[in-house]
């Protein structure tokens, strides 16, 4: 796929090499364990071939978003120059930029910046820019979806549920019919992990509410927040969601659904590929649909994704930017989409035949991605996330009542966002 983006990149890489800037450079690139370092390695190998004199070494640490944030915060606040490039969760650019941990890319991209940014879906281009500066480029796009067992809904002649109430009623029908003690109705993430921020936000957003306004002020609506949490607890009480929901992490949802132990599962886009693996019990039985709404509410989902950023402390910034540019091209995006259902941030890649063949549901995923909502964009995001996910988990585990949990969440958020 020859694009202007690639041509410009190739010229930039060639120019750097001609200046001798890339002789014997080793780039240390941070890629978290869940972000398929095996596939990233293949793309780094291609970059090494294109840019003689540059070696890429993968560094890892922390397998989940919040653990990675903790790891990178430690490394970067120590002004450690051992990392050149980092793959960061889309929730982090604002915080890292304000802390001056990442190098703005504008001056390196120069006159190519506009073309490059226009090649991404508007939401991803927007998420890459903080205070008018390009913080990072998209590695892949993501959102939460509802996975479901196509075969079981078909067996009981049930449609895709549009609301949580409908999902509860369908789940009860299937569970009663199947009489399989290992089958759960719905798996969601209630452990105090990054994903639990979305567990809180989706039913809250669905009631037309937002957590912060355009100027970054807290707008937590207590009745809506309580209603959203009560909706989840109601699903637990009806036997649709497991009682231990406060311990469930993303990987548990994947494992349960993949082994045929869940009828519905809320999860991110790339787990699709895990469900299609040859040893998956649900291969070819998986449907994917938007997240249901609260009764009378809108269908909302959490936007996700990962970005490539250059460390402000890197001593090889030009080479690091060249790698980031390569990793954010349609070529790499297509490879990741075909191999691992990592969704492209580049709209053109969605139309690619090979991509659609490997993940036919991408056609319906694109509008979902385009309307997905961002978690709060803030330089204090780490603390906001920590507050929301720990309170959500405590309420789901019934360690606190819903009113007390929301009050505590609001009080802490007010302190953080003051
Ligand atoms: C996915 C999303 C990311 C999100 C994370 C939570 O990796 O892409 O944005 O924060 O899941 O676990």
For 81-115, the DSSP string reads TT-SEEEEETTSHHHHHHTT-B---HHHHGGGHHH
| Residue of the CA atom closest to atom 3 of ligand 1 | 304
Q: What are phi and psi of 329, to 5 degrees?
A: -85, 160
92 lines ligand 1 (CB under 6 A): no
Residue with tokens 């790698």: 323
pLDDT at 60: 86
Q: Indicate which residue's Cα is closest to atom 2 of ligand 1.
A: 304
DSSP sequence for 348-384: HHHT-HHHHHH-TTHHHHHHHHHH-BPPP--TTHHHH
| CB 62, CB 34: distance < 8 Å | no
Of 123, 142, 97, nearest to 378 by C-alpha is 97
Distance 335 CA to ligand 1 centre (A): 20
Give pLDDT tens digits for 349-376: 999 999 999 989 998 888 899 889 999 9
C-beta 330 within 6 A of ligand 1: no
The burial of 379, by beta-carbon neighbours within 10 Å (0-12 exposed, 13-18 middle, 19 or more buried), is given as middle
For residue 48, give both structure tokens. 């090494």
Say yes or no: CB of residue 253 within 6 Å of ligand 1: no
Q: Kindly state if the Cβ of 304 falls inside 6 Å of ligand 1.
A: yes
List average pLDDT for each run of 10 residues in the chain, which is 418 residues long: 52 56 84 92 97 95 88 95 97 97 98 96 95 97 97 98 98 98 98 98 98 92 98 98 98 98 96 94 96 97 97 98 98 96 94 93 89 94 97 98 98 93
Does residue 391 have its Cβ closer than 6 Å to ligand 1? no
> Under DSSP, is residue 171 helix (H, G, I), strand (E, B) or coil?
helix
CB of 381 sitting under 6 A from ligand 1: no
Question: Mutation test of ligand 1: which of 67, 304, 392 has the most ligand atoms closer than 8 Å to its C-beta?
Answer: 304
Q: Phi-psi category of 61—alpha, beta or left, where left has phi over 0 and alpha has psi -120 to 50?
A: left
CA of 195 to the centre of ligand 1 (A): 6
Measured from the Cα of 304, ligand 1's closest atom is: 9
**Ligand 1 near 138 CB (within 6 A):** no
Q: pLDDT (tens digit, 9 = 90+) per residue, 314-338?
A: 999 999 999 999 999 999 999 999 9
Give the chain's end-to-end CA distance (angstroms, integer): 48
- How far apart are the C-alpha atoms of 104 and 310, rounded to whole Å? 8
* DSSP-based three-state secondary structure for 322: helix
Q: What is the DSSP letter of 267?
A: E
Cβ within 8 Å of residue 19, ≥6 positions away: none
| CB-ligand 1 contact for 329 (6 Å cutoff) | no
Ligand 1 pocket check: which of 33, 195, 270 to mutate, most ligand atoms within 8 Å of Cβ?
A: 195
Phi, psi of 147 (to 5 degrees): -90, 145
Query: What are the tokens at 378?
Result: 């803030």
* Cβ(198) – ligand 1 distance below 6 Å: no
Kindly provide the b/e burial profile for residues 279-299, where b requires at least 16 CB atoms within 10 angstroms of the residue's own CB.
ebebeeebbbbbbbbbeebeb
- Specify the 3-state DSSP secondary structure of 287: strand
Regarding the beta carbon of 91 and ligand 1, being less than 6 Å apart is answered yes
How many residues make up the chain in this entry?
418
Question: Which pLDDT belongs to residue 21?
Answer: 52
What is the CA 74 to chain-centroid distance, rounded?
22
* Chain centre distance of CA 415: 27
Distance from the alpha carbon of residue 198 to the mean position of ligand 1, in angstroms? 9
Distance 304 CA to ligand 1 centre (A): 5
Ligand 1 centroid vs 374 CA: distance in angstroms? 11
Q: What whole-number distance in Å separates Cα of residue 89 and Cα of residue 302?
A: 13
Q: Which residue has its alpha carbon closest to ligand 1 atom 4?
A: 304
Q: Which two tokens stand for residue 60?
A: 């890892």
> Which contiguous run of DSSP H or E holds residue 206?
none
Is the CB of 195 inside a 6 Å radius of any atom of ligand 1? Answer: yes
Q: What is residue 191's three-state secondary structure?
A: coil
Tell me the CA–centroid distance for residue 10 and ligand 1, in Å.
Answer: 31
pLDDT score at 13: 57
Smallest CA-to-CA distance from 253 within 162, 388, 145, 395 is with: 145
Note if the pTM is more than 0.75. Answer: yes
Kindly state if the Cβ of 174 falls inside 6 Å of ligand 1: no
């Amino acid at each position: 796929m020859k694009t202007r983006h690639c041509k410009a990149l190739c010229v930039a890489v060639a120019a750097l090499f001609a200046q001798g800037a890339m002789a014997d450079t080793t780039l240390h690139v941070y890629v978290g364990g869940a972000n398929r370092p095996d596939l990233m390695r293949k793309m780094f190998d291609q970059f090494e071939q294109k840019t003689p004199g540059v070696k890429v070494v993968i560094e890892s640490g922390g397998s989940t978003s919040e653990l990675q944030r903790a790891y990178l915060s430690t490394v970067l606040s120590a002004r450690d120059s051992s990392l050149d490039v980092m793959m960061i969760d889309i929730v982090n650019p604002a915080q890292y930029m304000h802390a001056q941990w990442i190098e703005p890319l504008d001056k390196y991209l120069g006159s190519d910046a506009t073309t490059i940014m226009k090649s991404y879906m508007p939401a991803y281009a927007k998420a890459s820019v903080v205070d008018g500066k390009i913080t990072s480029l998209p590695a892949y796009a993501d959102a939460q979806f509802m996975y479901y067992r196509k075969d079981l809904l078909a067996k009981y002649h049930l449609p895709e549920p549009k609301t949580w109430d409908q999902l509860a009623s369908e789940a009860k029908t299937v569970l009663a019919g199947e009489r399989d003690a290992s089958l759960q109705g719905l798996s969601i993430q209630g452990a105090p992990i990054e994903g639990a921020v979305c567990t809180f936000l989706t039913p809250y957003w669905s009631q037309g509410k937002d957590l912060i306004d355009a100027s970054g002020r807290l707008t937590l609506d207590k009745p809506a927040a309580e209603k959203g949490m009560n909706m989840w607890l109601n699903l637990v009480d009806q036997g649709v969601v497991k009682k231990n929901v406060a311990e469930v992490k993303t990987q548990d949802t994947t494992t349960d659904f993949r082994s045929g132990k869940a009828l519905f599962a809320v999860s991110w886009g790339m787990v699709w590929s895990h469900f299609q693996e040859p040893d998956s019990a649900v291969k070819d039985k998986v449907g994917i649909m938007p997240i249901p709404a609260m009764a009378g509410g809108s269908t909302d989902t959490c936007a996700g994704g990962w970005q490539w950023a250059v460390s402000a402390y890197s001593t090889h910034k030009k080479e690091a930017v060249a790698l980031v540019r390569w990793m954010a091209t349609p070529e790499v995006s297509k490879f990741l989409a075909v191999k691992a259902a990592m969704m492209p941030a580049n709209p053109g890649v969605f139309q690619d035949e090979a991509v659609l063949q490997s993940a036919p549901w991408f056609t319906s995923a694109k509008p979902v991605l385009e309307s997905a909502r961002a978690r709060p964009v803030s330089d204090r995001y780490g603390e906001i996330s920590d507050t929301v996910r720990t309170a959500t988990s405590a309420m789901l585990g019934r360690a606190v009542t819903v009113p007390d949990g929301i009050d505590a969440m609001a009080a802490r958020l007010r302190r953080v966002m003051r």
